[in-house]
Amino acid sequence: MKTQSKHPDFESVLLSSDDIADIVQKLGNQLNQDYQGKTPTILAVLKGVTPFLTDLSKTFQFYCDYEYVAASSYHGGVVTSNWVEIYLWPRLSLKHKDVLIIEDVVDSGLTIQKIKQKAMSEGAASVKVVTLLDKPEGRKVKFKPDYIGKTIGQLFVVGYGLDFDEKYRNVPFIGLLKPSIIKMNPKDYPWRKDF
């Protein structure tokens, strides 16, 4: 992992702009093979996906149309079950469409699973999932994205669409914030002197 960062709130850079560009191009190459001659309906998962969606779209050599979905997850205090609410969904039916869901990161898998199930229940011809980042160690449900940009560990990363408290989505790289910014509990990190 690179240690330099160009933003005072960041501790380190996980993926530079160049790293991201390489990952996006590789995903684009795979999609161009698999969707040649097809016209998929893109289901872009707001809000974090927007920079990735824009860059990935520029690599497409097939026709596609765009729809947007949004979901929020509720992690109830002592209750272990997690509930995801989809609050934005396309008006047009997805029946017979080749649906390509594009997501920034899959962690527990709860959000993407719910979106995929809903698309399938509308009678889509096919439903595939592209994610820029995958955090398989965080899974609470069995779920494997069809196209994965980069698999990472249980890190909380921000930038390039990913937010902390709605901030840092505009940062052009993906990195880790300083613990003092995310206000981690110092008791959990006794070796750290910087917060």
- Which of 131, 76, 87, 78 minimizes the C-alpha distance to 109? 131
Kindly tell me which residue out of 13, 20, 27, 105 binds ligand IMP, with binding defined by CB under 6 A.
Answer: 105
Kindly tell me which residue out of 28, 40, 51, 109 binds ligand IMP, with binding defined by CB under 6 A.
Answer: 109
- Which of 84, 83, 59 minimizes the C-alpha distance to 69? 84
Within 87-146, the residues that bind Mg ion by CB under 5 A are none
CA 67 from chain centre, in angstroms, equals 16
Q: Does 158 bind ligand IMP (CB under 6 A)?
A: yes
Q: Does 14 bind ligand IMP (CB under 6 A)?
A: no
Q: Does 99 bind ligand IMP (CB under 6 A)?
A: no
| Least CB distance to ligand IMP at residue 176 (A) | 9
* Cis upstream peptide for 47 (omega within 30°): yes
Stretch of residues binding Mg ion (CB under 5 A), selected from 41-49, 71-79, 93-101, 126-134? 41-49
Pairing of β 98-106 and β 41-46: parallel
Out of ligand IMP, Mg ion, none, what residue 157 binds, judged by CB under 5 to 8 A for its kind, is ligand IMP
Stretch of residues binding Mg ion (CB under 5 A), selected from 13-21, 43-51, 105-113, 136-144? 43-51
Q: Can you point out the beta strands (E) in the chain?
A: 10-15, 41-46, 65-75, 82-88, 98-106, 126-134, 147-151, 157-158, 174-177
Q: How far is CA 184 from CA 112, 150, 156, 192, in A?
A: 27, 26, 12, 11
Stretch of residues binding Mg ion (CB under 5 A), selected from 44-52, 57-65, 80-88, 107-115? 44-52
Q: Does 134 bind ligand IMP (CB under 6 A)?
A: no
In eight-state DSSP terms, residue 191 is: T
Q: How far apart are CA 126 and CA 10, in angstroms?
A: 40
| Least CB distance to ligand IMP at residue 16 (A) | 17
Q: Determine which helix (DSSP H) or strand (DSSP E) holds 113, and give its type and residue range.
A: helix 110-121
Out of ligand IMP, Mg ion, none, what residue 67 binds, judged by CB under 5 to 8 A for its kind, is none
Would residue 22 show up in a list of annotated catalytic residues for this protein?
no
Question: Contact letters (x/-) for ligand IMP, 43-82, by CB under 6 A?
Answer: -----x------------------------x---------
Residue showing tokens 């249980």: 154
Beta bridge partners of 60: none
Residues annotated catalytic, as ranges:
107
